[in-house]
């Protein structure tokens, strides 16, 4: 009756993280949209900018952690078992690299005084919008790769992958 079938804890957690990261990116770009549109109460207040910079930093760190769990555990396991996924996984890793480059750029931008962040809010917003698009497209491809592979791996083994990922 329209309920999502429970697949495995691993896939549920990965989907949850994808949605969570998507929401964080959505929220933070909304904040930078308000800052760059010059809504005075937002743009003038240094603490708003500092909070936005902190939120952005947390979002980027969570994203990098998620990527490293995938690259160091999940992608390795899946590629060992399903050599036919090699090209797809390579493409996923390349997308991580592009997003990491954007992350480094963003982290450099927010590592400064509030006035500088405010002055560059528009450029930051543009990169955040690109990031949102990359995250969306990447997540769709990744979910398809995971669905293919995890359908073919017993839940007990997936649990072991999950535990290994969570140790990182
Ligand atoms: Fe992911
Ligand atoms: Fe990923």
Q: Measure 46 CA to ligand 1 centroid, in angstroms.
A: 33
Spacing, Cα 151 to ligand 1 middle (Å): 17
| Crossing angle (nearest 10°) for helices 46-69 and 9-36 | 150
- Ligand nearest 134 Cα, by number? 2
Find the 139 Cα to ligand 2 centroid distance in Å.
7
Closest by CA position to 66, among listed 4, 19, 125, 124:
19
| DSSP secondary structure, 75-123, as one string | HHHHHHH-GGGHHHHHHHHHHHHHHHHHHHHHHHHHSS-HHHHHHTHHH
Distance 92 CA to ligand 1 centre (A): 9
Tell me 37's DSSP state. Answer: T
Instruction: State the distance from the centre of ligand 1 to the C-alpha of 45, rounded, in angstroms.
Output: 35
**pLDDT at position 58 over 50:** yes
In sequence order, the 6+-apart residues with CB closer than 8 A to the CB of 96 are: 67, 70, 71, 138
Domain locations in the chain as residue ranges: 9-166
Question: 128-166, pLDDT tens digit by residue?
Answer: 999 999 999 999 999 999 999 999 999 999 999 999 999
Query: Maximum Cα–Cα distance for the chain, whole Å?
Result: 55
Let me know: does 59 contact 24? Beta carbons within 8 Å. Answer: yes
Residue 9 pLDDT exceeds 80: yes
Q: Is 110 helix (H, G, I), strand (E, B) or coil?
A: helix
Residue 6 pLDDT: 67
Alpha-carbon dihedral sign for residues 38, 43, 48, 50: positive
Is the full-model pTM beyond 0.85?
yes
What ligand has the least distance to the C-alpha of 17?
A: 1
d(CA 96, ligand 2 centre) in Å: 6
Distance from Cα 67 to the centre of ligand 1, integer Å: 6
């Amino acid at each position: 009756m329209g309920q999502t079938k429970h697949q495995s804890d691993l896939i549920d957690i990965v989907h949850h993280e994808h949605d969570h990261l998507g929401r964080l990116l959505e929220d933070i770009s909304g904040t930078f949209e308000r800052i760059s549109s010059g809504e005075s109460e937002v743009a003038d207040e240094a603490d708003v900018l500092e909070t936005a910079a902190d939120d952005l930093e947390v979002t980027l760190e969570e994203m990098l952690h998620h990527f490293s769990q995938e690259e160091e555990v999940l992608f390795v396991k899946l590629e060992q078992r399903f050599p036919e996924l090699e090209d797809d996984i390579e493409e996923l890793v390349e997308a991580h690299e592009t997003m990491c480059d954007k992350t480094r750029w963003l982290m450099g931008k927010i590592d400064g005084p509030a006035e500088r962040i405010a002055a560059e809010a528009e450029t930051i917003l543009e990169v955040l919008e690109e990031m949102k698009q990359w995250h969306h497209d990447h997540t769709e491809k990744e979910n398809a790769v995971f669905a293919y592979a995890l359908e073919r791996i017993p839940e007990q083994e997936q649990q072991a992958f999950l535990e290994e990922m969570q140790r990182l």
